[in-house]
């Protein structure tokens, strides 16, 4: 079985045959059908998010159950599943209080297992959730899997595993965008385009897509943006004020993970509005906010992971949205590639050439 292995930060991943353990109790053997190449994988590879090599990355995948040990979710051979990069134990304080996206056992469940090894027997770490979708198959804890209908494209379902849920959920659940509102989305990669779609589903009146890349700005119109801005060519704050009688945005989403852009999102938001930080900067970064104005202008800063979604129900909800034509998942796929092309996919993402590269497995 093949896998792409990160042997060192900022060095090309290598394709190797790896060993995979059999599933034990509460574990499931999954053959991935497809996986998206997400910017979070790139951030780990760059060392911005801590995960020591050697490791198998990838966390945006959908596949079919090959076999399963004794499990509480009744997963069986042939079931179609999406990987959840935040496993949900269902037992902790957060899971029981509708905040499973910050499950206190998620890290222990996802990173406390070593099902993979190299040919010399040395162990390999797995990426977020223990999913390791840059391997053809995996053995993963049942808490990191969600069963989905078997009649939906695994290629499109893979995107629900991260980018779609993170972006659409940020609009619908974290921000709770209201109909008729003005939304600004800074960063129009895969997650940003999903935020735009979420704002459209919520009925936003004006959706302003902000990106340096012309092709991404053009694509944003197809996903629901009403305006697009190149911030190198126009003053974003003045542009937003021009559309809102001088007030500013009702909702501003930062989807890049850069402190300067997080601050910009704050600055262009009207008094009483909401700033939603979706992108994840380096753990060493900080963002300064005028502390007096935050209460005086009654702005709200919302951090969100995984779109503040409940994956156990919202994965299927988003699939149904796609079936009903409310979400365009097919249009988010820029290119279909093989595992051997994963390094090229990283390069394309860093150069801003794609919304989503999707690895498909036979």
Q: Indicate the SS3 state at residue 98.
A: coil
Q: Indicate the SS3 state at residue 127.
A: coil
Flag whether 140 is in a domain: yes
Please give the share of the chain, as a percent, with pLDDT higher than 70: 100
60/201 same-domain check: no
Flag whether 99 is in a domain: yes
Neighbours of 161 (CB within 10 A): 30
The whole-number pLDDT of residue 134 equals: 97
199/136 same-domain check: no
Judge contact between 46 and 57, C-beta under 8 A. Answer: no
Q: Which of 30, 36, 127 is nearest to 85 (CA)?
A: 127
Cα(42)–Cα(309) distance, rounded to whole angstroms? 23
Number of folded domains that form the chain: 2
Judge contact between 256 and 350, C-beta under 8 A. Answer: no
**What's the pTM?**
0.93
152/180 same-domain check: no
State the Cα torsion 323-329-333-337 to the nearest 10°: -50
Strand partners, 64: 31, 80
Q: What is the mean pLDDT of the segment spanning 96-109?
A: 94
Q: Is the pLDDT higher at 247 or at 355?
A: 247
Judge contact between 126 and 3, C-beta under 8 A. Answer: no
The whole-number pLDDT of residue 173 equals: 98
Tokens of 328: 């365009």
Cα(215)–Cα(293) distance, rounded to whole angstroms? 36
Q: Is the pLDDT higher at 110 or at 231?
A: 231
Flag whether 312 is in a domain: no
73/97 same-domain check: yes
288/176 same-domain check: yes
* CATH code, 203: 3.40.50.720
329-351: pLDDT as tens digits? 999 998 999 999 999 999 998 88
Please name the helix (run of DSSP H) or strand (run of DSSP E) that holds residue 265, with its range, or none.
Answer: helix 259-267
Among 259, 274, 305, the domain-final residue is 305
215/116 same-domain check: no
Q: What is the mean pLDDT of the segment spanning 292-303?
A: 95
Q: How confident is the model at residue 362 (pLDDT cuts 50, 70, 90)?
A: confident
The whole-number pLDDT of residue 312 equals: 94
Q: CB within 8 A of 146, min separation 6: which ones?
A: 81, 82, 84, 311, 312, 315, 316
Q: What is the mean pLDDT of the segment spanning 97-121?
A: 92
Mean pLDDT of the chain: 94
Please give the share of the chain, as a percent, with pLDDT higher than 90: 86
148/85 same-domain check: yes
Flag whether 310 is in a domain: no
Least confident of 3-12, 211-220, 320-329, 346-355: 346-355
Q: Indicate the SS3 state at residue 305.
A: coil
Flag whether 323 is in a domain: no
Q: How confident is the model at residue 274 (pLDDT cuts 50, 70, 90)?
A: very high
> How many CA atoms does the CB half-sphere of 329 hold within 13 Å?
25
Flag whether 93 is in a domain: yes
Judge contact between 348 and 342, C-beta under 8 A. Answer: no
Cis status, amide bond into 217, omega within 30 of 0: no
172/281 same-domain check: yes
194-218: pLDDT as tens digits? 999 999 999 999 999 999 999 999 9
Q: CB within 8 A of 342, min separation 6: which ones?
A: 4, 13, 37, 134, 359
255/351 same-domain check: no
Tokens of 259: 């402190």
Q: Indicate the SS3 state at residue 358.
A: strand
Q: How confident is the model at residue 353 (pLDDT cuts 50, 70, 90)?
A: confident
Cα(279)–Cα(77) distance, rounded to whole angstroms? 36
* CATH code, 334: 3.90.180.10
227/259 same-domain check: yes
Name the one residue in this structure whose structure tokens are 């509460």: 26
Flag whether 322 is in a domain: no
347/292 same-domain check: no
The whole-number pLDDT of residue 111 equals: 84
Judge contact between 264 and 289, C-beta under 8 A. Answer: no
Cα(255)–Cα(222) distance, rounded to whole angstroms? 19
38-91: pLDDT as tens digits? 888 998 998 888 888 999 999 999 999 999 888 888 899 999 999 999 999 999
181/215 same-domain check: yes
Which range marks the domain in which residue 65 is found? 2-161+328-360
Q: How confident is the model at residue 276 (pLDDT cuts 50, 70, 90)?
A: very high
- pLDDT beyond 90 at 259: yes
Q: What is the mean pLDDT of the segment spanning 222-232?
A: 97
Flag whether 62 is in a domain: yes
């Amino acid at each position: 079985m093949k896998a792409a292995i990160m042997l060192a930060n900022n060095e090309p991943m290598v394709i190797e045959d790896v060993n995979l353990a059999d599933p034990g109790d509460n574990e499931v053997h999954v053959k991935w059908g497809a996986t998206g190449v997400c910017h979070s994988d790139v951030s780990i590879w760059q060392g911005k998010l801590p995960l020591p090599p050697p490791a198998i990355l990838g966390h945006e995948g959908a596949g079919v159950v090959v076999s399963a040990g004794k499990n509480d979710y009744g997963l069986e051979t042939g079931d179609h599943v999406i990987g959840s990069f935040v496993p949900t134990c269902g037992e902790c304080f957060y899971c029981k209080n509708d905040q499973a996206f910050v499950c206190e056992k998620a890290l222990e469940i996802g990173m406390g297992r070593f099902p993979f090894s190299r040919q010399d027997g040395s162990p390999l770490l797995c990426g977020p959730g223990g999913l390791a979708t840059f391997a053809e198959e995996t053995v993963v804890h049942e808490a990191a899997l969600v069963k989905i209908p078997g009649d939906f494209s695994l290629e499109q379902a893979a995107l629900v595993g991260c980018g779609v849920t993170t972006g659409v959920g940020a609009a619908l659940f974290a921000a709770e965008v209201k109909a008729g509102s003005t939304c600004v989305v800074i960063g129009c990669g895969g997650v940003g385009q999903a935020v735009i779609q979420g704002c459209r589903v919520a009925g936003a009146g004006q959706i302003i897509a902000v990106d340096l890349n012309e092709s991404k700005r053009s694509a944003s119109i197809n996903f629901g943006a009403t305006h697009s801005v190149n911030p190198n060519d126009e003053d974003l704050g003045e542009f937003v004020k021009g559309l809102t009688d001088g007030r500013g945005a009702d909702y501003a989403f930062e989807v890049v993970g850069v402190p300067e852009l997080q601050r910009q999102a704050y600055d262009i938001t009207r008094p009483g509005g909401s700033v939603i930080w979706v992108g994840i900067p380096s753990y060493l970064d900080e963002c300064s906010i005028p502390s007096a104005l935050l209460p005086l202008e009654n702005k709200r800063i919302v951090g969100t992971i995984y779109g503040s979604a409940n994956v156990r129900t919202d994965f299927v909800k988003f699939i149904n949205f796609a079936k009903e034509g409310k979400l365009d998942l097919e249009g988010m796929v820029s290119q279909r590639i093989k595992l051997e092309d994963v390094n090229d996919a990283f390069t394309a993402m860093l150069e801003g050439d794609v919304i989503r590269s999707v690895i498909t497995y036979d």
